[in-house]
Chain A
């Protein structure tokens, strides 16, 4: 059932021409970032080469690129999650799912994984571009891998927040603005908190991405992402159940 719902979500996404357009534009933007970082690296490379232990191409090109994309996704994911449930309500298609023999958790997980697969496709362009560097130089596979894993977990946590906000409303636009407000709010609280041990750092997904970004696989950070996503998915399941109670 989860797979069926996820496939339906993907099919609907790819049936819309706007999805293809957004995919193309985003690949263009990603490529632009990549080439800009690469150019900057090539300019400073002669000076770097004089250092005793010069930073490689992966840490100077890939890591900042992943960091930028993590920020970009914060703005982008709400645009995709807004449709998930709010639009079903607005188009009155939600009755089909509510009257079908499936539980609320199947419904939420199906939608979550459907969108996550799409977002994973959206960001696969990034490692592909970075791997073209392997044609000319040696790259740090470990650092790339930890960044990719971190980015995927980060995307999942964004998608879970967006899905929950989408379950709260009938208007996709409100869902997008709401999810954006939550994600940007968490980020601003994180960068605004001066104290090293401020609780705001702990609840911000982007803060937990920093270790992955530096190539450090911390199980604590991974656990945070899993918990963060699970909490919002559970809230969404609760909301779907309440939908039946309050109408």
Chain B
């Protein structure tokens, strides 16, 4: 499968986005290859979630016609052929999109079928995904009765159940306890072997432990892009990820 698929799974060029008169995203370009895990860092309100919404087709960029802006998922243009392109995306928004009145099994099966899986494949994927996300014991439970950590895991499960090529996770480890965070980080690493993962986060430790590359956003612009190792030794101070991050975002203001 990995031989036949194109190497670059996600390619976004010149994205801009305004809400009213406020320019939220300025000319942002991103590229992601298969097997990469990209961490999107930034302060609150830097435009991380807006960027992810655009990459998943929930929000259209401004000026699609003029500025040469494009988003390609596995070579398919998301803006012109949204239905085809979205079949390759798994997305976990900031708030997990859960139907609280459904059971975990029903909900995950719905999510799989919604992404175009056949019933047989969906039930096989359900078993596998529940095992990967540690949801074996709660399959028949109603989602609304689960704890926040379990709900977050169901949210991750719906994003990966159809084995998408591009997985977009908006703050995946919020509300989890330390051991769950470790499990989820392992899962993300594992997912990064076969697909591309983009995750936004505030936690530098998360970036350090799971991401191959980092992009830092500030006020809607990318101000730094490079590998995690490069950021850690940015400016000649190896091993100081946190200081480097604060220095980078501080000097730009």
Contact = CB atoms under 8 A, between A and B. Distances in A.
Secondary structure type dominating chain A contacts: helix
A187 B56 CA distance: 43
B60 A244 contact: yes
B59 A101 contact: no
A16 to B, nearest CB: 6
Contacts of A16: 101
Contact of A92 (B87, B95, B114): B95
Given A12-B99, A12-B101, A244-B58, A101 B110 contact: no
Contacts of B116: 101
A93 interface: yes
Contacts of A91: 97-100
A103 B83 contact: yes
Interface string A75-113: 000000000000000011111111111110000000000
Nearest to B93: A95
B230 to A, nearest CB: 31
B102 A11 contact: yes
B86 interface: yes
B83 A101 contact: yes
A11 B106 contact: yes
A122 interface: no
A15 interface: yes
Nearest to A1: B114
B158 A96 contact: yes
Highest count of chain B CB atoms <10 Å: which of A12, A91, A94, A247: A247
B115 interface: yes
A1 B118 CA distance: 11
Interface in B22-79: 53, 56-60
Interface in A161-188: none
B214 to A, nearest CB: 24
A97 B101 CA distance: 17
B101 A101 contact: no
A134 interface: no
A15 B101 CA distance: 6
A121 interface: no
Contacts of A11: 102, 106
A120 interface: no
Contact of A244 (B19, B57, B91, B111): B57
Contact of B89 (A5, A99, A103): A99
Interface in A1-30: 1, 4-5, 8, 11-12, 15-16
A102 B106 CA distance: 19
Contact of A247 (B59, B85, B91): B59
Contact of A93 (B85, B89, B98): B98
Interface of B: 19, 53, 56-60, 82-87, 89, 91, 93-102, 106, 110-111, 113-116, 142, 158
Interface of A: 1, 4-5, 8, 11-12, 15-16, 91-103, 244-245, 247
Question: Which 5 residue pairs of A and B lie closest in terms of their CB atoms, listed nearest first?
Answer: A96-B97, A92-B95, A101-B86, A101-B87, A15-B101
